[in-house]
Amino acid sequence: MRSTLHERWINMDWTPHITVAAIIESEQGFLLIEESSDGATVFNQPAGHWDEGETLIEAVARETLEESAWHFEPQAIVGIYQYTSPTNQTTYLRVCYCGRHHSHAPDRALDTGILRTVWLTRDEIANLPNLRSPMVLRCIARFYLVEASRRLGDSWKLSLDVYIYSDIPTDDLAYGFRHEDFVQLELAWYF
């Protein structure tokens, strides 16, 4: 007989692994890492476990720097995903953030197991046969970002940021965030 989530929680024989991931998009595509995991070479977003004593935002910034050598500023939660690995029956709860990257440190040593970083388009990622988990594609499949800016003379800058989340199924833990799309228009004066 299969135990319910509540029964397993009460018995303390089940604890999900809480992880964070970063969606970083630029003109080149989405930033992924190629890594060695359990003897296989796989692709993943910069991601990792939430460590004791840190916030989720601190965790995703740290993991991104450790795995890609990019500094990352999380700006919004894209989704919360649940996945149980068929190989080890471990359940992962992934909190995925989008945000801005800056200050690349190409001489920084990457975490053990990280082979390299790559920039790939949405279609290229969808065609990869070796994603670390289905969560990799689910994170980017419903995220759209538009950023634009223009200088207006010497003292003014106009910027536009648009975040759109699409295709959130009702059984997804992030379903409650489906109305979190936003448009931000900023006019800045430099003096």
10-14, 55-59, 163-167: range with highest mean pLDDT: 55-59
Residue 23 tokens read as 């969606």
At 162 the pLDDT is 62
Distances (CA, A) of 108 to 24, 36, 67, 101: 19, 19, 10, 16
Spatial CA neighbour of 89 closest among 39, 16, 12, 2: 16
Map out the domains of the chain as residue ranges: 5-141
pLDDT at residue 4 tops 80: no
pLDDT at residue 138 tops 60: yes
For residues 36 and 57, give the distance between their C-alpha atoms in angstroms, rounded to a whole number: 25
Residue 172 tokens read as 């997804």
* For residues 113-121, average pLDDT: 96
As a whole-number percent, the residues of the chain with pLDDT over 90 amount to 45
Between 153 and 129, the more confident residue is 129
* For residues 107-130, average pLDDT: 93
Domain 5-141 CATH (choose: 3.90.79.10, 2.160.20.10, 3.40.1350.10, 3.40.720.10): 3.90.79.10
